[in-house]
Structure 1
């Protein structure tokens, strides 16, 4: 954790609404290029990547300015170094001042990691948990894939266990067994 920052949780995280994000993308020159408007960025802003890839979220408040930092696990090379992203938001004016990826080679052109992080902040703002507090200072779920096994399984990627396999019996085998009921097949 960085000096002066605290672990982010659902009750300490600031509210980021869609108007703030839209205004930021419309006025920031890094995000006006055609690269940021492509399919890759659109897919990255969906919940399935952002919720699994973001972890170790920390924040620091300095007056009305809130700085939120996080780590994002790479989408393909999941064992590579995680990207550090940072968002600076003015809470009183409800304005996203900056959002950038520190470690990405494409950061100068407005990389997808900044988009993923802003959309993640927006989704966390919409979640209202009255009776519980969720801590966001944890390892990203995407970084866990492949740690204990060599290959990812269906249960690891979807969170659901597949139905058990039924034994393979052919129609021919059933016909033979029924034709000879006293036999020890």
Structure 2
């Protein structure tokens, strides 16, 4: 663990809601490109990848800024070096400042690992537990494949989580933010 950081758990992670995600994706040029619509990126945002690949999450609060660092297991080389991810959130303004993967080749242009980590924290903040605290300072499930865990079934990967009902208010807010910022080259806005 790094100096000044504490182990992340379900009670101390920053809250990231859908509006914060929408505002971050529309205002960040790394994620408003043709690359963002590709299958590889959309697959990395699925819960089954992020929930199984994220490990060793730590955080530090410095005034209104919360820095969250974690490790993410590469999807195809599960025994390779874990990629380091850093997320910076302004909790007072309720805005995601940045998210960056430090180790993969595509890290300069908004890679799939940063999306997986950001959406993992979003899912954790949407499901707060009132009675128990889950620790996130642990080895990822995905990196255990081939050691004590010989294989994972599709049922294990999906975790049996039901899909959420549609909320058109979030989409409308996302589109309004894109229009206000006058984004013309955002792939997400082109499809709407």
Query: TM-score w.r.t. structure 1 length?
Result: 0.81
Residue ranges of structure 2 left out of the alignment (5+ in a row): 160-192
What is aligned with 1:83? 83
What is aligned with 1:44? 44
Kindly tell me: are residues 100 and 159 of structure 1, through their superposed partners in 2, closer, same or farther at Cα, counting changes over 3 Å?
closer
What is aligned with 1:24? 24
Aligned residues: 159
Could you list the per-position Cα deviations for residues 22-63 of structure 1 after superposition, in whole angstroms to 9, with x for gaps in the alignment?
Answer: 111111111112112211111110110000000100000000
Dislocated runs of 4+, deviation >3 Å: 153-160
Q: Which has the higher contact order (CA 8 A, sep 6+)?
A: 2
Greater C-alpha Rg:
1
What is aligned with 1:67? 67
Kindly tell me: are residues 18 and 4 of structure 1, through their superposed partners in 2, closer, same or farther at Cα, counting changes over 3 Å?
same
Kindly tell me: are residues 158 and 62 of structure 1, through their superposed partners in 2, closer, same or farther at Cα, counting changes over 3 Å?
closer
Tell me, in whole angstroms, the C-alpha distance in 2 between the residues paired with 1:157 and 1:25. 30
Tell me, in whole angstroms, the C-alpha distance in 1 between the residues paired with 2:124 and 2:54. 12
Using the TM superposition, name which of 89-98 and 25-34 deviates more.
25-34
Tell me, in whole angstroms, the C-alpha distance in 1 between the residues paired with 2:62 and 2:5. 10
- Are the counterparts in 2 of residues 145 and 156 from structure 1 also a CA contact under 8 Å? no
- Are the counterparts in 1 of residues 49 and 157 from structure 2 also a CA contact under 8 Å? no
Tell me, in whole angstroms, the C-alpha distance in 1 between the residues paired with 2:154 and 2:48. 15
Tell me, in whole angstroms, the C-alpha distance in 1 between the residues paired with 2:131 and 2:148. 34
Could you list the per-position Cα deviations for residues 55-74 of structure 1 after superposition, in whole angstroms to 9, with x for gaps in the alignment?
Answer: 10000000000000000001
Tell me, in whole angstroms, the C-alpha distance in 1 between the residues paired with 2:158 and 2:37. 30
- Are the counterparts in 1 of residues 52 and 157 from structure 2 also a CA contact under 8 Å? no
Q: Give the match's secondary structure for 1:29.
A: coil
How much does 1:154 deviate?
4.0
Residue ranges of structure 1 left out of the alignment (5+ in a row): 161-185
CA RMSD of aligned residues (A): 1.9
How much does 1:128 deviate?
2.2
How much does 1:109 deviate?
1.2
